[in-house]
């Protein structure tokens, strides 16, 4: 019982006062640590977000950033990728399932997510939707047939994130494309989505590597990379496991 188990450990958090949002200021400081992770390391950013979570345990913007941190850790540490994707999915789902009404809907739905269950998710939760879906896709890849049941949660998560249209546009497209590829459905649509992800995040080598792995015929057609120092350590890790010279100019740019 995947989500019900998570529901049992999700604590209800008090609602913040509407007239003030002190989280924004605190997040800005933590986000600076995140932006500098190529020089100070991911640990500093993760510690900053974890500290904020202790102060605001129900804050979706913090949960979403922790799920993003787990995503980066999985890229940087491929040997431990499964553990980081498990952690990231749990963080994202705790974010979404903190709402008591959603808890009840998941239980009534037999421990599955669907469009009706997710209809009440609001904009602040959009990053959690995306990372819940993306981490799930990666876990299905890593765990194989035994995790295929989880794949059914991905389309409603992506659909709700698309409806909100706020967070992680490149990752949303990669997730939708990868879900289609796993199911062997709509390859032409998956191809378009992969190419769109690269265009939206030209400084992240992951998307180009994934597009070219899925569709080698995209070689030479993808947008040029744009050096991005913020993603330097992730790009270096991607380059170490996937090297291509003619997919696009600088597919694995590290930002040096």
The string over 69-101, giving b where at least 16 C-beta atoms fall within 10 Å of a residue's C-beta and e elsewhere, is bbbbbbbbeeeebeebbbbbbbbbbbbbbbbee
Q: Please state the pTM of the whole predicted model.
A: 0.85
Q: Which of 200, 208, 213 is nearest to 235 (CA)?
A: 208
What is the structure's pLDDT at 101?
62
Give the separation between CA 225 and CA 250, rounded to whole angstroms.
6
Residue 103 confidence (pLDDT): 65
DSSP state string for 122-187:
-GGGHHHHHHHHHHHHHHHHHHGGGGGGGGGGHHHHHHHHHHHT-S-HHHHHHHHHHHHHHHT--H
212 is written with which tokens? 């070219």
- Each of the 256 residues of the chain gets a pLDDT tens digit; together they read 565 555 555 544 445 444 568 899 999 999 999 999 999 999 999 999 999 999 999 899 999 999 999 999 999 999 999 999 999 999 999 998 886 666 666 666 566 677 777 877 887 889 999 999 999 999 999 988 767 778 888 999 999 998 888 789 999 999 999 999 999 999 999 999 999 999 999 999 999 999 999 999 999 999 888 888 899 999 999 998 876 444 444 444 444 3
52 neighbors 62 (Cβ within 8 angstroms)? yes
From CA 137, how far away is CA 210, in angstroms rounded? 13
- pLDDT of the residue at 11: 46
């Amino acid at each position: 019982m995947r989500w019900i188990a998570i529901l049992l450990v999700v604590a209800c958090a008090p609602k913040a006062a509407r007239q003030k949002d002190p989280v924004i200021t605190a997040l800005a400081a933590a986000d600076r640590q995140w932006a500098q992770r190529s020089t100070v390391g991911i640990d500093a950013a993760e510690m900053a977000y974890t500290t904020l979570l202790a102060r605001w345990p129900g804050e979706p913007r913090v949960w979403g950033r922790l799920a993003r941190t787990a995503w980066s850790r999985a890229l940087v540490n491929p040997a431990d990728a499964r553990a980081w994707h498990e952690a990231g999915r749990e963080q994202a789902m705790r974010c979404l399932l903190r709402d008591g009404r959603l808890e009840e809907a998941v239980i009534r739905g037999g421990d599955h997510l669907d469009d009706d269950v997710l209809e009440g998710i609001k904009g602040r939760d959009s990053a959690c939707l995306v990372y819940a879906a993306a981490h799930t896709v990666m876990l299905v890849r890593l765990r194989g047939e035994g995790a295929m049941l989880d794949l059914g949660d991905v389309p409603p998560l992506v659909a709700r994130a698309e409806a909100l249209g706020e967070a992680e546009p490149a990752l949303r497209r990669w997730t939708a494309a990868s879900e289609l590829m796993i199911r062997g459905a709509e390859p032409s649509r998956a191809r378009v989505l992969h190419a769109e992800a690269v265009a939206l995040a030209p400084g992240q080598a992951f998307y180009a590597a994934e597009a070219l792995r899925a569709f080698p015929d995209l070689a030479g057609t993808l947008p040029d990379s744009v050096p991005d120092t913020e993603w330097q350590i992730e790009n270096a890790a991607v380059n170490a496991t996937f090297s291509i010279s003619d997919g696009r100019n600088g597919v694995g740019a590290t930002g040096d």
